[in-house]
């Protein structure tokens, strides 16, 4: 069997790496997509914190309009201190309040040279853009939506940053998958779902796409536990 020579970075999300040959390919762009309540932001924050605490990789949370106090409270619930990580320079939170009605462009914040220098200084290797949906809504389209998404992905890939881009869906579930242009551009798609089983909903994850990776295509359950998202790789929602 040919040995996999792709460098991978462990996500640190318990059970997930077992489904994707040990982690995301370094420098890849991963779309974490799902309907409301599927833990997209929690997934992204956990990816950042684990990289910082366990692999000494600086992390950046780029959240247009995000409320930092809410993020801190959310992470504290799982035993992580976002404020301390920020003070130590291990995680950078960028939360631009862009005034699009006044002609401001959110992409200019992401591509700003000062931010780029900061990423280099802090050895940023992981980024979460939360969400790509908002970036598309409020960013100027340079040649259309496809070129805009390609520009974001290529910029961060050239910097050697592995990026999780959260993505909002209005329709979900095992039988309802609709694809937009962003799904064709990114290197991987992690699909977080709410699946109704009788009178209950269960959280589930499917790896729909992961370039250069032999990955599971099953629908696996996950739970939000004391330390965050935990995937159960040996269990399947539908046997």
User: In the chain, what are the domain boundaries?
Assistant: 8-216
Instruction: Write the pLDDT tens digit of every residue in 1-16.
Output: 344 689 999 999 999 9
pLDDT at 106: 87
Residue entry with tokens 């992580």 = 80
Categorize the per-residue pLDDT at 178 as very low, low, confident or very high, splitting at 50, 70 and 90. confident
Based on C-alpha coordinates, what's the Rg of the chain? 17
As to burial, measured by CB atoms within 10 angstroms (0-12 exposed, 13-18 middle, 19+ buried), residue 169 is: buried
Instruction: Give the CATH superfamily of 8-216.
Output: P-loop containing nucleotide triphosphate hydrolases (3.40.50.300)
Categorize the per-residue pLDDT at 176 as very low, low, confident or very high, splitting at 50, 70 and 90. low
Average pLDDT (160-182) is 84
Contact present, 133 and 167 (Cβ < 8 Å): yes
pLDDT over 90, % of the chain? 76
Backbone angles phi, psi at 66, to 5 degrees: -70, 150
Please report which helix (H) or strand (E) contains residue 86, including its range: helix 82-87
How far apart are the C-alpha atoms of 44 and 166, rounded to whole Å? 8
Instruction: Write the pLDDT tens digit of every residue in 181-226.
Output: 999 999 999 999 999 889 999 999 999 999 999 999 999 999 999 9
pLDDT at 100: 67
CA angle 37, 231, 84 (to 5 degrees): 70
pLDDT at 2: 44
pTM: 0.94
Residue 141 confidence (pLDDT) above 70:
no
């Amino acid at each position: 069997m040919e040995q996999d020579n792709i460098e991978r970075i462990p996500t640190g999300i318990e059970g997930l790496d077992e489904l994707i040959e040990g982690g995301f390919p370094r420098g890849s762009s991963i779309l974490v997509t799902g309907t409301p309540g599927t833990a997209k932001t929690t997934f992204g924050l956990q990816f950042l914190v684990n990289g910082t605490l366990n692999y000494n990789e600086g992390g950046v949370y780029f959240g247009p309009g995000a409320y930092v106090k809410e993020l801190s409270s959310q992470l504290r619930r799982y035993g992580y201190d976002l404020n301390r990580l920020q003070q130590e320079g291990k995680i950078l939170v960028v939360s631009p309040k862009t005034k699009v009605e006044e002609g401001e462009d959110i992409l200019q914040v992401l591509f700003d040279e000062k931010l780029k220098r900061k990423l280099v200084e802090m050895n940023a290797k992981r980024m979460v853009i939360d969400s790509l949906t908002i970036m598309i809504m409020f960013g100027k389209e340079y040649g259309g939506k496809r070129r805009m998404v390609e520009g974001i992905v290529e910029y961060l890939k050239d910097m050697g940053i592995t990026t999780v881009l959260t993505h909002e869906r209005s329709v979900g579930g095992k039988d309802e998958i609709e694809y937009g242009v962003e799904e064709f551009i990114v290197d991987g798609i992690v699909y977080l779902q709410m699946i109704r089983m009788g009178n209950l909903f269960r959280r589930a994850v499917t790896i729909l796409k992961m370039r250069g990776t032999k990955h599971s295509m099953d629908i696996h359950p996950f739970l939000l536990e004391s330390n965050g998202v935990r995937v159960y790789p040996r269990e399947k929602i539908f046997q």
